[in-house]
Amino acid sequence: MKAKKLGIALVMVSSFAFLGTSCSNSDVTSATDEALTVTATDESQVATINDEVVSEADQYVTTTANAGYMAVKSVETVTGPTITVDKPDSVSFPKTITIDFGTGFTGKRGNILKGKLIVVISDKMWKANSSKTITFDNFYVNDNKISGSKTVTYKGLTTSNHPYWTISVNDTINRKDGATVTWISERTRELVDNNSTPLIWADDKYSITGTSSGVNAKGKAYSMVIDSNNPLIIYNNYPHFVQGIVTVTSETRTATFNYGNGEKDNLATVTINGKTKEITLKN
């Protein structure tokens, strides 16, 4: 009788242990999936901030070049960023161009820019293999502080006759919520459509491929790869990617991030282990 009771007790204990383990594993999986979603969202935020910095630097360096590298105001409004050049001529290189957004300027994507971009150009930027290195002086996008550096190199024209650039980035973003994200990236940025308005930058459309890695706001390391068959698509006048697919990996788990079919919105989907949900992108 004792042996029978003992056997029943062991079965009950084993069953409860199994149930407890199953519940725990489910909770862990759910928490891990949520953390991976956060990672993908963090990656998206820092990637779009990076692209805005590159876009703003492109516009004002070109504005300065068109003015013979003389100090100029913004091409948009008299209250825009102030641009200064250490060598105000068309022959001396390298030269340093400082773009000062002051205490708050609304960029073409609707984000608030503060502080300075320090841009060192190696040569006239229409020359193949010329480069500009961008650093920051107390610079913010929507109160997210950016530090680090990025180097943009003009590579010439693609086989489709589109200008393209390679971009190497090593940035840290101290977010307004107190979290910190680090981001290292190697990308190719191609101008795929100027909307038949070559003198208007706002409606230009870019395609982006490449990889990145970093540490998310929760301190977790991750890596990201853009699907070369579905590159990221962004417009100069819109704060989010509107199309493209990326794969984000963290702690051996993978998420697929899809920005949609080109519609301008702040939504994307994330798919983890076959389950898909819609998320809202951060500025």
pLDDT of residue 25: 41
Q: Is the pLDDT of residue 145 over 50?
A: yes
Task: Say which residues have a Cβ less than 8 Å from residue 267's Cβ, sequence separation at least 6.
Answer: 260, 278, 279, 280, 281
Q: What would you report as the CA-atom Rg of the chain, rounded to the nearest whole angstrom? A: 24
- The torsion angles phi and psi of 208, rounded to 5 degrees, stand at -130, 130
Between 1 and 41, name the one with better pLDDT: 41
Q: In one letter, which amino acid is 235?
A: Y
| Cβ atoms 57, 117 nearer than 8 A | yes
DSSP lists the bridge partners of residue 232 as 208
Count of Cβ atoms closer than 10 Å to residue 35 Cβ: 18
For 95-123, what is each residue's pLDDT tens digit? 999 999 999 999 989 999 999 999 999 99
- Alpha-helix runs per DSSP H in the chain: 2-66
Residue 218 per-residue DSSP state: T
pTM score: 0.85
The string of pLDDT tens digits covering residues 197-244 is 777 777 899 999 999 999 999 899 999 999 999 999 999 999 999 999
